[in-house]
Amino acid sequence: MVTLAGKTLFITGASRGIGLAIGLRAARDGANVVIAAKSDVPKPKLPGTIHSAAQAIEAAGGRALAVRMDIRDADEIDAAVAVAAARFGGIDILVNNASAIWLADTPGTPVKRFDLLHQVNTRGTFLMTQACLPWLEHAVNPHVLMLAPPPNLAPRWFARHTAYTIAKYGMSLCVLGMSAEFATRGIAVNALWPRTVIATAAVAMLGGTVKPEHCRKPEIVADAAHWLLTQPARTCTGRFAIDEDILRAAGVSDFDCYAVQPGASLLPDLFLD
């Protein structure tokens, strides 16, 4: 399988950034894309809504469904999945892209922020996968993809932002457990993470320490995701893939086209040595 034509992708946090880029790549194949996120009205500091994303998906050649959904609300998740499945006749692929970020130390992490990290990252990933499972079980070549890092227990990845690391690794642990749990059902569960910082709205959360010109575009993650999601589900599962490694294995040798500013020195991402 080399195309996502006719497949239905449910992507969380798809109104902008990496989630939208994955949707646009699938749309170029002629896929159905469910854009599920909270952003249904424009915000001055956060460009893009589920509606503008849906327009972009349609313009790229796909069919779109914009669904306002708070991933912290289990009832909203169930309702969104039901609407998506009714609209497109099922769900073939779930992309757990929605994620909260808060890079602060323990004293600088309020309890509300701690709870948000875990409600969105770990709990949201678990509940979304649980809700989509009945549809994935009936799909041909079903995939679940988490935008999560390979587990790395080196203390330095916890020292500066323990709460965030725990919550993000919760998504990674879902990959470990669910890939084994769903193996006999033929459902692939994988993780994908960027080699470098990606130029998205999340860069603003880094306190000005990262300049966009030192980042790569979201399209590099989208192209790597496309490769993973077109692989046979029964044999390509339980992987913690890095975008650059996936594309290099697929035959890509020049990554300069993904750079925001070609030739700029790229910054490594979190959780990678």
258 classed as catalytic = no
Catalytic residue among 10, 88, 135, 164: 164
Residues 270 and 149 sit within 8 Å (Cβ to Cβ): yes
Residues 126 and 167 sit within 8 Å (Cβ to Cβ): no
CA triple 221-222-226, angle to 5 deg: 115
Q: What is the Cα–Cα distance from 94 to 34, expressed in whole angstroms?
A: 10
Q: What is the Cα–Cα distance from 213 to 217, expressed in whole angstroms?
A: 10
Three-class SS state of 46:
strand
Contacts of 155 (CB under 8 A, 6+ apart): none
Report which of 127, 18, 115 is spatially closest to residue 77, judged by C-alpha positions: 127
* H or E element, residue 10: strand 8-12
Residues annotated catalytic, as ranges: 164
